[in-house]
Amino acid sequence: MPGVTCALFPVIGMFILTSGRTWSSDGSVILMDQEALNTGLKHGEMGLNESKGNMYSWVTHTWNTVKGACPHGCSYCYMKRFGKQSELHFDKKELETNLGCDNVIFVGSSCDMFAKDIPENWIIRTLFHAQEYPNNYLYQTKNPARLIEFAHELFYLDRVCTTIETNRFYPKIMGNTPKPEERATAFSKYPFNRFLTIEPVMDFDIDEMIELVKLCNPVQVNIGADSGNNHLPEPSREKLLTFIGTLSEFTQIDQKRNLDRLIKTW
């Protein structure tokens, strides 16, 4: 594509082509100044949050424009450990953030940006700001039906992911989220590469769970366990190992460190 500066960088054993891109009003891509991106933050700009704790090993930073109590209300949400959340809001100051370049940024790590009640304008403004910087972005949601609405704004190299913890629906745990089969059906319609996260993995019916994963047709499945001592229903070691073995026959698996608690024998 004319006028685009591209670079290769490795993520999980793969090389992903990333491009410095700014979208003009007609939807075309124009050249970005790479030197300006590498000179650091300008006065008044906010910094990125480096990924810490139980984050994906391949994510370098997190960035959140939508803040406050997530509409999904999952019982195990890690944000609840920080106490009562503020009212849901859009933090305009985050649009001053210099996102740099060659980063892997998890956008919306603290609140599902694509939840049903999130205003469309908040999502659009976040996506447009991200598109000004040549990074690889992760967008993860438990409401993948909304991803279809924004497929034009999501660059085809961005990592788009849905979470399916189990094929079963545990209403007291999953709150206001769509049911697992609804998520899988909606996600199967997303036109670009799909990533699937099974975390925190909860007890499942192995055949039905495998069918949900196949319906999503992901290029990679990330699997992790509850790390917040939330007393969730969990699969046995034998069931989990059988499940992982079957998945590895048709997709790439990334096991998070917290999964050791369920699969290792000490």
What is the number of structural domains in the chain?
A: 1
Between strands 89-90 and 66-67, the pairing is antiparallel
Q: Which of 1, 6, 11 is nearest to 138 (CA)?
A: 11
Domain that holds residue 111: 5-35+43-263
The single residue listed with the structure tokens 């069918």 is: 211
Q: Is 122 or 39 the better-scoring residue by pLDDT?
A: 122
Q: Which of 227, 217, 205, 207 is nearest to 252 (CA)?
A: 217
90, 101, 113, 158, 198 from 121: Cα distances, Å: 10, 25, 11, 20, 29
CA atoms within 13 A on the CB side of 215: 19
Q: What tens digit of pLDDT does each residue of 186-220 get?
A: 999 999 999 999 999 999 999 999 999 999 999 99
Q: 118-123 contacts: CB < 8 A, separation 24 or more? A: 118/66, 118/71, 118/88, 119/90, 120/149, 122/65, 122/66, 122/90, 123/150
Q: What tens digit of pLDDT does each residue of 214-229 get?
A: 999 999 999 999 999 9
Task: Tell me what the mean pLDDT of segment 73-82 comes to.
Answer: 83
pLDDT at position 34 is 44
Q: Is the dihedral of CA 165, 166, 167, 172 positive or negative?
A: negative
Q: What tens digit of pLDDT does each residue of 14-60 get?
A: 323 333 444 343 333 333 344 444 444 443 455 689 988 677 888 99
Amino acid code (one letter) for 260: D
**CATH number where 252 lies:** 3.20.20
Q: Say if residue 200 is preceded by a cis peptide, omega within 30 of 0.
A: yes
